[in-house]
Amino acid sequence: MSFFLGVATVVFTIKGLGGSLNSVLSTVGLSEYHGPIVAAVIGLLMLVFFIRNQKGNGPPNILLTHKQRVSVGVLALLVIIGAITVRVRALEVMPVDVKRADMIPTVQSQIVDFLEGNNPYSPRTLQEGHTVPRYYLPIIWLTYTPLYVLGIDIRYLNIAAQVILYLLLLDCFLRKGQFARFGFRVSVIVFIALLAMHAFSKQAIREVTDTQTGPFWLFYCLFLWAMSRQSNQLSFIFLSLVVLCRHAACLLFLPLALYFAKSDRKKLASMSFHFILIACVVLLPFFQYWRNLWEGIAFYSSTTNQTSVEQMMGLFGLAGPLKKLGLLFLQKPLQLSGTLYALWAVLFSMTDPLGTVALGGVAYLTVILFVGTPFHYLYAEPLILSVFLLVRPSLRRDPSAGASG
């Protein structure tokens, strides 16, 4: 059952965010509610899937033969080559344009000001006359900076992040062997189909051409992969980088921190040490702009009074319907509910480290669902988590897991 739920979650999220349901809803006169309806279904599917995965380990892994591994690798490589080709072409025909989306131009402006010794966090009027607030945390634009310095379109980092995601998913599947109760051939067909569906989806290609999600994609999928490899040091490094990409990302890891506080305080100390060290290295050079650095956190809170109902209803979230119904006072409690549930589940139910990562998805998703202006790219991390939970191999039992029951 969990497998089918996972497939449904991944498929609907990819198709829903890509706009495939527009015509269907228009036919029945619900085009105005496209965003909220898609968000509600995505949220329901993801929340149920994440909650079902909080216990962590699934069926035992199956050892594949060399021939089977090669066959899966070749099929996946063909999909990846096709994905790279499509994305490179998309960059060629869709140059950076602030009129289409202001995320990449904003990142570029932060890079330019940083290199010129100016404040990368003050509001900036771009050449096109478009004024943008700038609150992306340093890891976002610093990760793009080497490409900019080399004169390369910084969006190639987005391509690299997605390709690395596909390769890490392939590694997970090769260790997993097959999906529950399915033979090798059927499992490979499902895996390659899901890989291809994402690789050639409008949603994923739009992530490459218009958004600044590359660093977040990259570090979060590396974190999940390191967790699946049970490499604590690597996972703590990538965890720190994810949190330093986006203000709300700490919600993804609060349940894991509580789990270690409960079962293995040495790991909690190690996780904390890595984060503090990396945060100091990344943030201290910009400490003089600390007020600007934290402005972006208001984006995730209940401050939606300046956003019109029409704009909120046109995006992928549920704050719009709340405002339209006069129930906006429920926004913050609903955002908080996922975090409270996740922490309660860690304290009072059986889980393991990877299971707490699923609970982190619950905490993060409930906030995103009720953001005032929830753009499609905010669902990138819950989608990555959904795919990893579906494809992940079973872990060796963590000796500390017994303490969490």
Residue with the bigger pLDDT between 16 and 272: it is 272
Say if residues 357 and 252 touch (Cβ distance below 8 Å).
yes
Say whether pTM exceeds 0.75.
yes
Q: Which 3 state secondary structure label does DSSP give 148?
A: helix
Say if residues 158 and 213 touch (Cβ distance below 8 Å).
yes
Mean pLDDT of 239-265: 93
Tens of pLDDT along 308-357? 888 888 888 998 898 889 898 899 999 999 999 999 999 988 788 888 99
The sign one gets for the Cα dihedral 333, 337, 343, 344 is positive
Residue with the bigger pLDDT between 235 and 402: it is 235
* 397: confidence class by pLDDT, cuts 50, 70, 90: low
User: What's the CA gap between 172 and 170, in Å, rounded?
Assistant: 5
The continuous run of DSSP H or E covering 132 comes out as strand 131-132
For the cut 90, the answer to whether the pLDDT of residue 56 exceeds it is: no
